[in-house]
Structure 1
Amino acid sequence: MATENPAAPSRNTQPPKAQAALGVGVIVQDAQGRVLLGLHHSGTWELPGGKVDPLPESVPAAAVRELREETGLTVPEEAVTVFAMLHDAVGGINRVTMAALVRVDSGTARVTEPHLISTWRWTPLDALPSPLFDPSAQILATWRPDLGIPHPPAHRLALASDEHQEKP
């Protein structure tokens, strides 16, 4: 077992200056293939989602929490599939958005944050409204590139599933 050198300076005693924001956007798809979109008071349509809280909250846990807080819909963490990480920048801050998918048989979304969202609507993929909130457009375009959704550029990192990871 290695011992630490008491004369060596300690590392990482202070966190680095914040330069990134971490969030999650949740595609909620119903049994008819529609997706849930909310109309923000700014006039953009968006997926449910928001920031990921500091540890111990995981990305799937944040997706479940944000979905419940924003729409009243409840799903278990096991129902959340995180399928990509998107990275762009806004105002000099790196924005890292985790893209998640949840499939539900049915559900009625409620406006639980009326100061932000005026309505939630189940929308067919061939009738997506515009304008879409940029991160929502990026997530939807990553999920279904065949839809031709216009969006600002973003780096995309596909996430490997457990079955593709090396076993010890």
Structure 2
Amino acid sequence: MRPADQPPPHRNAQPPTAQASLGAGVVVTDEAGRVLLGLHPGGTWELPGGKVDPGESIERAAARELAEETTLLADVADVEVIGILLDSPASTEVTRLTAVAVVRAFSGTPAVAEPDKILRWEWTALDRLPRELYTPSAQALRTWRPELPIEEAPFHRYQVVRTR
């Protein structure tokens, strides 16, 4: 036990060397139940999404990325994180964590806001999903709707359980 007149031991407040990258894959559907997918210049289709900035919640990052990429506006309160995916796609030293976020309500019409990243946005029926899905987007869709005919990939999948 430490005497009362001694200060507490110093703790390093700096984080360890980064070994992971955190991003959000955003599932947003229209009133017909179609999911929004964007065509990447490389030919794959993907969900809106991107990295979570330091100090930012996943929900805020999802709403921000949705607006930055599609011009759709969503309130942070209308974003729900439903799962986390882990994989190591290009490096054995960095783990990619993808939070699967579902947007329950939004306003606006999708438009290409970053033409270097997405050529066009399309509302896509779940029974017409393209074969050329970006793997993290495919696995995010599978987390959202496990019954979708999407091939399993080497991801670790964690469902988020709400305990309210």
**What is the CA-CA distance between 1:106 and the residue it aligns to?**
6.9
For 1:40, the equivalent position in structure 2 comes to 40
For 1:117, the equivalent position in structure 2 comes to 118
Kindly tell me: are residues 106 and 64 of structure 1, through their superposed partners in 2, closer, same or farther at Cα, counting changes over 3 Å? closer
Q: Say whether residues 1:52 and 2:52 are aligned partners.
A: yes
**What is the CA-CA distance between 1:130 and the residue it aligns to?**
2.4
Q: Is the 8 A contact 1:39 1:118 kept in 2?
A: yes
Kindly tell me: are residues 106 and 33 of structure 1, through their superposed partners in 2, closer, same or farther at Cα, counting changes over 3 Å? farther
Mapping 1:1-168, distance limit 5 Å: 6=7, 8=9, 10-55=10-55, 57-90=56-89, 91-92=91-92, 93-104=94-105, 107-163=108-164
Secondary structure of the structure 1 residue equivalent to 2:147: helix
**What is the CA-CA distance between 1:6 and the residue it aligns to?**
5.0
Identity %: 52
**What is the CA-CA distance between 1:104 and the residue it aligns to?**
3.9
**Amino acid of the residue matched to residue 112 of structure 1?**
A
Q: Distance in 2 between matches of 1:47 and 1:109?
A: 12
Deviations 1:26-59 (CA, angstroms, capped at 9, x unpaired): 000111000000000111100000000001x111
Is the deviation greater in 84-93 or in 63-72? 84-93
Q: Distance in 1 between matches of 2:45 and 2:6?
A: 55
Runs of 4+ in structure 1 deviating by more than 6 angstroms, as ranges, are none
Task: State how many pairs are aligned.
Answer: 160
Q: Distance in 2 between matches of 1:120 and 1:4?
A: 63
Deviations 1:65-114 (CA, angstroms, capped at 9, x unpaired): 00000000001011111101111112121011100111347742000000
Secondary structure of the structure 1 residue equivalent to 2:119: strand
Q: Distance in 1 between matches of 2:8 and 2:47?
A: 52
**Amino acid of the residue matched to residue 139 of structure 2?**
Q
**What is the CA-CA distance between 1:14 and the residue it aligns to?**
3.4
Superposition RMSD in Å: 2.0
**Amino acid of the residue matched to residue 149 of structure 2?**
G
Q: Distance in 2 between matches of 1:4 and 1:141?
A: 57
**What is the CA-CA distance between 1:15 and the residue it aligns to?**
2.3
Q: Is the 8 A contact 1:31 1:104 kept in 2?
A: no
Q: TM-score w.r.t. structure 1 length?
A: 0.88
Q: Distance in 2 between matches of 1:17 and 1:126?
A: 43
Task: List runs of 5+ in structure 1 lacking aligned partners.
Answer: 164-168
Task: List runs of 5+ in structure 2 lacking aligned partners.
Answer: none
Q: Distance in 1 between matches of 2:35 and 2:108?
A: 11
Is the deviation greater in 94-103 or in 30-39? 94-103
